[in-house]
A and B are shown apart, each in its own frame.
Chain A
């Protein structure tokens, strides 16, 4: 019986896991660096790149630098880059943003891999990127830098 329950839980978990290309962006409400609530609706009709990261994740910090450079080149009326940090320590997140000189939208879901958005998006590793078109449809998971740049140029 116990085994069946475990199997069922695992199964439901798998069903929930990771959004697929073609899916709509999951709705979320998260806090920004000033503790203001930010709703996912805010970015409607824009191309959205969501980047899950954490201050302690070295590869993510390297990625931040690339995103910072990329952010300078994009049309901010049409494209939104959203960083979602899974840091549990808010102060470390703020420090990392300052250090990496991030100017694009930064939100926090401070529960590590147990964070609601991490589960909604199906984030199993950091960094994780999700690229949505202007209709909020997922078009790529973990696209390469080149793929992102090419898509943004379109």
Chain B
């Protein structure tokens, strides 16, 4: 009997953990790509992004050179996948804005760098790590965030985010 109660606790704990994990998801990513050639003139980024099974739709805005990626529910993607895909296509990320469920910002790999409060259910943020902004901007940001010890470490496993809403 005791064991069953224990098991129940474990199961419910797992369920809670599981649900909070799946809730912590990215719903949309807006990627501005940069490179030596015209990023919109190539189908490569589009193709790379569409190759992800989690991707519902990719839209391109020719005026802002932005790819807007809409993701399926309950995906477990993190920002690195977008960087990898864009780089695989032969380009770089100029900026990456993400819309996600607000719980995401309290999760492990995310470090918030500004004081702004996020929205209750949904939050928008920019990833400000090296490789997610232009080199020029990264130099500037390194000065701004020099007191954030994890920022200067440039680890690939954490994401420093600036809340926008």
Contact = CB atoms under 8 A, between A and B. Distances in A.
Q: How large is the interface on A (under 10, 10 to 19, 20 to 34, 35 or more residues)?
A: 10 to 19
Interface stretch (B41-49, B113-121, B125-133): B41-49
B42 A124 contact: yes
Nearest to A10: B51
B153 interface: no
Interface in A106-130: 112-113, 123-127
Q: Residue among B38, B40, B41, B43 with the most chain A CB within 10 A?
A: B41
B29 to A, nearest CB: 20
Q: Per DSSP, are chain B's interface residues mostly helix, strand or loop, or mixed?
A: mixed
A125 B40 contact: no
A54 B62 CA distance: 11
A115 B47 CA distance: 14
Contact of A124 (B37, B44, B60): B44
A111 to B, nearest CB: 12
Interface of A: 2, 6, 54, 56-60, 112-113, 123-127
Interface of B: 37-38, 40-44, 46-47, 53, 60, 62
